[in-house]
Amino acid sequence: MAVCFPDTQGDAPRIAIHLSRVGVTGVKKLLRLERGEKRPIILIPTFDAFVDLPSNQKGIHMSRSPEAISEVVDEVVSNSTIGVESICANIVKRMLEKHEYAARVEVNMTSDFMFTRESPVTNKESQEMAKLIANAVGIRDENGEITIRKSIGAEVVGMTVCPCAQESVREADRVKLLEFLDEETCAKVLDTVTFASHNQRGVGTILIEVPEHQNVEGEKIIEIIESSMSSPVCGLLKRPDENATVMNAHKNPVFVEDCVRNMVEKIIEEYSDLPDDTLITFRQVNHESIHRHNAFAEKVSTLGSLKEELNWEE
Amino acid sequence: MAVCFPDTQGDAPRIAIHLSRVGVTGVKKLLRLERGEKRPIILIPTFDAFVDLPSNQKGIHMSRSPEAISEVVDEVVSNSTIGVESICANIVKRMLEKHEYAARVEVNMTSDFMFTRESPVTNKESQEMAKLIANAVGIRDENGEITIRKSIGAEVVGMTVCPCAQESVREADRVKLLEFLDEETCAKVLDTVTFASHNQRGVGTILIEVPEHQNVEGEKIIEIIESSMSSPVCGLLKRPDENATVMNAHKNPVFVEDCVRNMVEKIIEEYSDLPDDTLITFRQVNHESIHRHNAFAEKVSTLGSLKEELNWEE
Amino acid sequence: MAVCFPDTQGDAPRIAIHLSRVGVTGVKKLLRLERGEKRPIILIPTFDAFVDLPSNQKGIHMSRSPEAISEVVDEVVSNSTIGVESICANIVKRMLEKHEYAARVEVNMTSDFMFTRESPVTNKESQEMAKLIANAVGIRDENGEITIRKSIGAEVVGMTVCPCAQESVREADRVKLLEFLDEETCAKVLDTVTFASHNQRGVGTILIEVPEHQNVEGEKIIEIIESSMSSPVCGLLKRPDENATVMNAHKNPVFVEDCVRNMVEKIIEEYSDLPDDTLITFRQVNHESIHRHNAFAEKVSTLGSLKEELNWEE
Amino acid sequence: MAVCFPDTQGDAPRIAIHLSRVGVTGVKKLLRLERGEKRPIILIPTFDAFVDLPSNQKGIHMSRSPEAISEVVDEVVSNSTIGVESICANIVKRMLEKHEYAARVEVNMTSDFMFTRESPVTNKESQEMAKLIANAVGIRDENGEITIRKSIGAEVVGMTVCPCAQESVREADRVKLLEFLDEETCAKVLDTVTFASHNQRGVGTILIEVPEHQNVEGEKIIEIIESSMSSPVCGLLKRPDENATVMNAHKNPVFVEDCVRNMVEKIIEEYSDLPDDTLITFRQVNHESIHRHNAFAEKVSTLGSLKEELNWEE
Taking only the tens of pLDDT, chain B with its 314 residues reads 567 777 778 888 999 999 999 999 999 999 988 777 777 889 999 999 999 999 999 999 999 999 999 999 988 876 667 899 999 999 999 999 999 999 999 999 999 999 999 999 999 999 999 999 999 999 999 999 999 999 999 999 999 999 999 999 999 999 999 999 999 999 999 999 999 999 999 999 999 999 988 889 999 999 999 999 999 999 999 999 999 999 999 999 999 999 999 999 999 999 999 999 999 999 999 999 999 999 999 999 999 999 999 998 76
Residue C8 pLDDT: 78
Residue A38 pLDDT: 79
Closest residue to C257, CB basis, from D22, D48, D262? D22
Q: What is the pLDDT confidence band of residue C136, given thresholds at 50, 70 and 90?
A: very high
Report DSSP letters for chain A, one per residue: -------GGGSPPSS---EEEEEEEEEE--EEEEETTEEEEEE--EEEEEEEE-TT-S---TTHHHHHHHHHHHHHTT-SS--HHHHHHHHHHHHHHH-TT-SEEEEEEEEEEEEEEE-TTT--EEEEEEEEEEEEEEEE-TTS-EEEEEEEEEEEEEEEE-HHHHHHHHHHHHHHHTTTS-HHHHHHHHHH--B---EEEEEEEEEEEE-TT----HHHHHHHHHHTSSEE--S---HHHHHHHHHHHHHS---HHHHHHHHHHHHHHHHTTS-TT-EEEEEEEE--TTSSSEEEEEEEEEHHHHHHHTT---
Residue B313 pLDDT: 79
Q: For A174, list phi and psi in degrees, rounded to 5.
A: -55, -45
Contact status of A228 with chain D (Cβ, < 8 Å) = no
Residue D78 pLDDT: 66
Residues of chain C with C-beta less than 8 angstroms from the C-beta of A114: 29-30, 44
Closest residue to C196, CB basis, from B197, B233, B287? B197
Residue C229 pLDDT: 98
Please check whether residue A158 is in contact with residue A231, taking contact to mean a CB–CB distance below 8 angstroms: yes
Half-sphere exposure of B232 (CA within 13 A, CB side): 23
Interface test with D, best of A126, A238, A291 (most D CBs within 10 A): A291
- Closest-CA residue of chain C to A65: C236
Single out the residue of D165, C167, C63 nearest to residue A122, CA to CA. Answer: C63
Q: Looking at chain D from residue 26 to 85, which residues have their Cβ under 8 Å from any Cβ of chain A? A: none
Helices (H) and strands (E) in chain D, counts: 8, 11
Is the model's pLDDT at A2 over the cut of 80?
no
Element (H, E) at C40: strand C38-43
> Is the Cβ pair D20, C300 closer than 8 Å?
yes
Helices (H) and strands (E) in chain C, counts: 8, 11
Residue A253 to residue A235: CA distance in whole angstroms: 21
Residue D39 to residue D113: CA distance in whole angstroms: 13
> Is the Cβ pair B114, D70 closer than 8 Å?
no
Residues of chain D with C-beta less than 8 angstroms from the C-beta of A201: 200, 287-289, 292
CB proximity list for B96: less than 8 A, separation 6 or greater: B102, B105, B138, B140, B146
DSSP-derived letter for residue C136 is E
The mean pLDDT value for A302-307 works out to 97
Contact status of C177 with chain D (Cβ, < 8 Å) = no
- Closest-CA residue of chain C to A41: C30
Q: Which chains touch B (3 or more CB pairs under 8 A)?
A: A, C, D
Contact status of C165 with chain B (Cβ, < 8 Å) = yes
> Is the Cβ pair B172, A28 closer than 8 Å?
no
Q: Mapping DSSP to helix (H, G, I), strand (E, B) and coil, where does residue B203 land? A: strand
Q: What is the pLDDT of residues A204-248, one digit of tens each?
A: 999 999 998 888 999 999 999 999 999 999 999 999 999 999 999
User: Could you say which residues of chain D have pLDDT below 70?
Assistant: 1-2, 78-80, 314
Beta strands (DSSP E) in chain B are 19-28, 31-35, 38-43, 46-53, 104-118, 125-140, 146-161, 199-210, 231-232, 279-286, 294-302
Burial of C311 (C-beta count, 10 Å sphere; 0-12/13-18/19+): exposed
Residue A80 pLDDT: 64
Residue B106 to residue B95: CA distance in whole angstroms: 9
Supply the ipTM of this predicted assembly: 0.94
Residue D314 pLDDT: 66
Is the model's pLDDT at C1 over the cut of 70?
no
Q: Which chains touch D (3 or more CB pairs under 8 A)?
A: A, B, C
What are the C-alpha distances in Å from C188 to residues A218, B173, C193, C261? Answer: 63, 12, 9, 31
Q: At what angle do helices A163-177 and D183-192 cross, to 10 degrees?
A: 130
Report DSSP letters for A73-119, one per residue: HHHHTT-SS--HHHHHHHHHHHHHHH-TT-SEEEEEEEEEEEEEEE-
Neighbours of A229 (CB within 10 A): 29
Closest residue to A292, CB basis, from D157, D172, D194? D157
> Is the Cβ pair B168, C237 closer than 8 Å?
no
Please check whether residue B236 is in contact with residue B148, taking contact to mean a CB–CB distance below 8 angstroms: no
Q: Mapping DSSP to helix (H, G, I), strand (E, B) and coil, where does residue D302 land? A: strand
State chain C's mean pLDDT as an integer.
94
Percent of chain C with pLDDT over 70: 98
CA A152 from chain centre, in angstroms, equals 7
Contact status of B187 with chain C (Cβ, < 8 Å) = no
Instruction: Give A243 to chain B, closest Cα distance, Å.
Output: 26
Residues of chain A with C-beta less than 8 angstroms from the C-beta of D195: 193-196
Q: What is the pLDDT confidence band of residue A36, given thresholds at 50, 70 and 90?
A: confident
Query: What residue type is assigned to position B279 of the chain?
Result: L
> Is the Cβ pair B27, D235 closer than 8 Å?
yes
